[in-house]
Amino acid sequence: MAPDTVRPAATQRRQLALTVDQKALILFLVILAAFLGFWELGANLKLFLPIMPSASQTIKDFWFWISNPFFDYGPNDMGIGWLLLTSLRRVLTGFAIGSAIAIPLGILIGLSPIVSKAVDPFIQVLRPVSPLAWLPLGLALMKDSERTALFVIAITSIWPTLSNTIFGVKNVDPAYLNVARTLGASRWRTIRQVILPAAAPNIVAGLRVSLGIAWLVIVAAEILLSGGIGYFVWNEWNNLKITSIITAILIVGLVGLLLDRLFGLLQARVSFGQRS
């Protein structure tokens, strides 16, 4: 008897109650609406500086850039799609160069305590340097802005991947290594079949951080160089078009999010439940 009387009440409560995700979505929409409302109202009541556009103007302009991404009326008037492709090409090329240096170097350092101790001072000194500090040196060495951008991005991409690769290779679960030893596996076979797959989640985590930082740095580098989304931001500041700058900020953020998610998927693929 008792369960029968209890069940309807329980199901009713379940229908009314919102899940955590639903509640979060509602709160998100409320915050967004409050923010946009305050912005629109403030701009109309002239609470901000006159240069500040209203929310509706910004959204209109955002839609203009989004709806027509690929036009080209000369280097100072290009669709956002072309600008993004330029920046992405630079980031991905520089990131590939940086990773091609960082991963093998990290494996070597991780495997050898001697190399590790010998190389560590170089890494410790170079890692905290702002990537932009390399930019003048890059211009001097490369003598052109495209290759300087790649140079700066490559150096930026090295550090997180390098330190994560070293950590991953050094901290392979000794149980796996013991298995390889008891089977009499050669050093080379152990590295290829055991150490690298075991370190893969850490390496990919490093790549993910590297790519995120590279995407941060490309905007700053392009403000100083030319072309790409960073140059666009600076150019629109010179045109005093704040709506375009806000548009660019949002798009840079969304592309960064997308890149991060892609690497998140790759990370899940190589983890096999080693971390959730």
Q: Which of 52, 59, 266, 270 binds other proteins (CB under 8 A)?
A: 270
CA atoms of 144 and 148, how far apart (whole Å): 6
Q: What SS3 state is found at 78?
A: strand
In 3D space, the residue among 236, 102, 82 whose CA is nearest the CA of residue 166 turns out to be: 102
Which run of H or E residues covers position 246? Answer: helix 242-271
Q: Under the criterion CB under 8 A, does residue 127 sit at the interface with other proteins?
A: no
How far apart are alpha carbons 261 and 208 in whole angstroms?
9
CB of 193 to other proteins, least distance (A): 6
Quickly tell me which residue has 């550090």 as its tokens: 159
CA angle 32, 66, 41 (to 5 degrees): 35
Give least dist CB 261 to other proteins, A.
22
What residues between 14 and 43 interact with other proteins by CB under 8 A? Answer: none
Q: Determine if 60 is a binding residue for other proteins (CB under 8 A).
A: no
d(CA 95, CA 269): 21
Beta bridge mates, 45? none
193 binds other proteins per the rule CB under 8 A: yes
In angstroms, give the least distance from the CB of 271 to other proteins. 8
Q: Shortest Cβ distance from residue 273 to other proteins (Å)?
A: 3
Q: Could you give the CA distance from residue 13 to residue 17 in angstroms, rounded to a whole number? A: 6
Enumerate residues 152-191 that contact other proteins by CB under 8 A.
173, 175-176, 178-185, 189
Say whether residue 213 binds other proteins (CB under 8 A).
no
Minimum distance, C-beta of residue 117 to other proteins, in the bound complex (Å): 16
# of chain residues touching other proteins (CB under 8 A): 21
CA-to-CA distance for 275 and 216, rounded, in angstroms? 27
Which member of 91, 103, 152, 200 binds other proteins (CB under 8 A)?
200
Q: How far is the CB of 161 from other proteins (least distance, A)?
A: 20
- Cβ proximity to other proteins, 181 vs 261, nearer residue: 181
User: In this chain, which of 59, 111, 115, 198 binds other proteins, going by CB under 8 A?
Assistant: 198
Question: To the nearest whole angstrom, how small is the minimum distance from the Cβ of residue 173 to other proteins?
Answer: 8
50 phi, psi to nearest 5 deg: -60, -25
Is 197 a binder of other proteins (CB under 8 A)? yes
Return the closest-CA partner of residue 140 out of 130, 132, 148, 131. 148
Name the site residues for other proteins (rule: CB under 8 A). Answer: 173, 175-176, 178-185, 189, 193-194, 197-198, 200, 270, 272-274
